[in-house]
Chains A and B, each alone.
Chain A
Amino acid sequence: MDAPDHPAPETHPTPSHQRVWDVPTRLVHWSLVIFVGLSWWSVENKRMDIHYWSGLILLGLLVFRIYWGFAGPETARFARFLKGPRTVVGYVGKLFRPDYRASFGHNPLGALSVIALLLAISIQVGLGLFSSDTDFISAGPLNRHISDYDTVKQITDLHEDFFNVVLAVVGLHIAAIAFYLVVKRINLIGPMITGRRKAGNTDGPPAGIASVSLLRLGIGIVLAVGVVWLIAR
């Protein structure tokens, strides 16, 4: 996260870098990586105390990211990057043409991957809220709202199995990034770390995304913390 957001207008007429990802979007992205990993590690190592909190942090990240999909900067917005099937197919057709231009933000196909990831992690976290091992030494924060032992067992088995779906979607995501890196020679990892990419053969405004007010950011943080607090208390 070395590149701070620059709210000031660019001084030179043709900036050498285009801002594509804002700080909150990048932070949420890498936090999801960390906490999905931590959730997996903790349950494999029977650290349910860590698993519980890691899941709640994921819930907060998801709430924030969904809010940010409406209130965040251009490249974070669902309405901006979600495209219809015709556009997605059209994008795939253009992928190997010489006049291919890298997208500003998510490409139409990658947008589907974003939705799949958010949905899969949301379902997984949602199931976890109601789950418990059969010994009930520890339980998800909403588990007590399901009194039936066998229903809890079914939800928990589903929670366990659904992790394979999360892994599959993550695997697809990483495979796509590797494809762009190796075949298309486009590094998508760097911009997700620095927020910027070299200006040049890309779509979008030369300077990239505009800044979003701190008030909007604050509302998102309050919302995310509030939802987690309501569920965990």
Chain B
Amino acid sequence: MKAILFAAAAASAFALAACGGGEPEKPAEPTPAADATPEPAAAPALAGPAAMPDTTDVAAYMTARHENYEHLGKNMKVLQDNFRSETPDMAAVAPAAANVKAFADAMGDWFPDGTGPDSGNKTEAKANIWTDRATFDAARAKLAEEAGKLATVADAAAFKAQFPVTGGACKNCHDTFREEEKDH
């Protein structure tokens, strides 16, 4: 019996060691009551959408667009982390959600002609943004609507209910209009 318990401990230790990254982990022992995971780490400076340059330099324009989406991703990370938390920090959620709404409202203007894949610049934007503009615009409008709801959630429960819906509106567009990044 002792051997089995040892094996059990060894197996769980291996499994947790296999989690990779050497990142901070939850305790391996079940500690039901005493677990209030500190959430989330001090928020890095979160930005809303930066003003886009004019399109005289197409490459610079596309880089700025990419950076804007990265900032949007960082805001989404804060929301995702809080969504996973048992007790979302609404003081962190509110500004991130407001930023996401600002991005959603602004991004409709970020795809002028000539800034797609045929520009020759590296981009995840697919050509069908320009060939199927009506669908793209409808998807963008849907995102603006769902991001608006996310920016006005009253409490943690409402946030947890709305976040996947807003995420679904992002995904709706990504699945159709964003190229999978193949090389990093």
A residues whose Cβ falls under 8 Å from a Cβ of B: 46, 59, 62-64, 66-67, 69-71, 122-123, 125-127, 129-130, 132, 134-139, 141-147, 149, 152-153, 155, 157, 216, 219-220, 223, 226-227, 230-231
Contacts and interface: CB of A to CB of B under 8 A. Distances in A.
B160 to A, nearest CB: 14
A140 to B, nearest CB: 10
Interface string B172-184: 0011000001001
23 contacts: A66-B15, A67-B10, A123-B18, A126-B20, A126-B21, A127-B20, A130-B19, A130-B21, A134-B70, A135-B174, A136-B79, A138-B167, A142-B19, A143-B80, A144-B39, A146-B23, A147-B81, A153-B184, A216-B4, A219-B4, A226-B30, A227-B16, A230-B28
A66 B80 contact: no
Interface of B: 3-4, 6-8, 10-12, 14-16, 18-21, 23-26, 28, 30, 39-41, 44, 69-70, 72-74, 76-77, 79-81, 84-85, 167-168, 170-171, 174-175, 181, 184
Given A127-B20, A127-B21, A70 B15 contact: no
Nearest to A66: B11
B77 A136 contact: yes
Contacts of A141: 84
Contacts of A46: 171, 175
B20 A152 contact: no
A39 to B, nearest CB: 16
A80 B175 CA distance: 48
Which DSSP category, helix, strand, loop or mixed, fits chain B's interface?
Answer: helix
Contact of B10 (A70, A134, A138, A230): A70
A147 B41 contact: yes
A219 B8 contact: yes
Contacts of B21: 126-127, 130, 146, 155
Given A136-B80, A144-B85, A149-B73, A67 B8 contact: yes
A70 B11 contact: yes
Nearest to A77: B7
B89 to A, nearest CB: 12
Contacts of B84: 139, 141, 143-144
Of the candidates A129, A136, A216, A219, the one having the most CB atoms from chain B within 10 angstroms of its own CB is: A136
Contact of A70 (B7, B19, B41, B73): B7
B81 A144 contact: yes
Contacts of A69: 11
